[in-house]
Amino acid sequence: MLWMSCLPSACLFFLLLPCFPGHNGEENQQSTDIISVWEGDSISITCSMKGSENEMGTYLTTTMQPFNVIYVFKNISYILPALANRIKYSKEGMNFRIVLHNVRESDSNIYVCNTFIKNKGNHKKLNGKTTIVVVKAKNGGVVEQSPLYVNPQQGQSVHITCALKSSREDEGIYLLKTHMQPERVLYVSRQNTSTIFPAFANRLEYSKEEKKLVITLHNLQKNDSDIYVCVGVLKNSSFLSGNRKGTMILIK
């Protein structure tokens, strides 16, 4: 396991790098990973490196109240001090693997791997893999969800209800598949604009009233069997808020 100290000049470079003028890359074809765990567990995120002589480092960032979690370049690394005693990483060929131990609900976030390269005198950012991490609190939680379990026949429909208990304003609600085949199902914003992801294209309807979202999944198939979790995005929050149990759908 590699554990490297951060030189002052490297730290300064890391902090300034996202501010350099440059161009965003188009490396966004990778699928989004979904990780759903309980508080106290460990999670692993793998970022790929380019291995180019023009590469200027790879880092993992969050998108909710953005901050840089870790930066790695050759034999130099920077780790966010608040996470330093819970993060370990290792290089594995052209990848580096980040492990966050003893996760907390506040670690729930959308994590993105980014790489900077030097291209004709400019700094170009290549956007890599995105990972949505949902850490389920063992007590409490601001997202109510029902039902706990449904067992429909193939071809039937089910309803899932998500409701935010928080008095804080929300930005939106996700519905995620989290176990057998983790992926995004639906995102509905506070303004009631929505994104239905490919798994349920043409098979999903929803209605929204204030902080309550009722989702109907139609024409269910065997491969739709999974645990579905409602996740709230609260305004000005630094982390995601997921339901502790979700809805288990088991197709007969």
pLDDT in tens, 209-221: 988 999 999 999 9
CA distances for 152 relative to 36, 190, 191, 226, 240, angstroms? 24, 30, 32, 12, 30
How confident is residue 3, by pLDDT bands cut at 50, 70 and 90?
A: very low
pLDDT tens column, 89-122 = 988 888 889 999 999 989 999 999 988 888 777 7
Answer whether 0.85 is exceeded by the pTM. no
pLDDT (0 to 100) of residue 157 = 97
How confident is residue 231, by pLDDT bands cut at 50, 70 and 90?
A: very high
Do 194 and 188 touch, CB atoms closer than 8 A?
Answer: yes
What the chain holds in terms of domains, given with CATH numbers, is: 8-136 (2.60.40.10), 143-249 (2.60.40.10)
Proportion of the chain in helix, strand, coil states, percent, rounded to 5: 10, 50, 40
Percent pLDDT > 90 in the chain is 50
CA distances for 54 relative to 22, 121, 212, angstroms? 14, 10, 49
Mean pLDDT across the chain: 84
DSSP 2: B
User: Is residue 22's pLDDT more than 70?
Assistant: no
pLDDT (0 to 100) of residue 51 = 67
**How large is the average pLDDT for residues 157-170?**
90
**How large is the average pLDDT for residues 73-99?**
88
Between 13-22, 55-64, 139-148, the lowest mean confidence (pLDDT) is in 13-22
How confident is residue 10, by pLDDT bands cut at 50, 70 and 90?
A: very low
Amino acid at 203: R
Residue 195: how many other CB atoms lie within 10 Å = 12
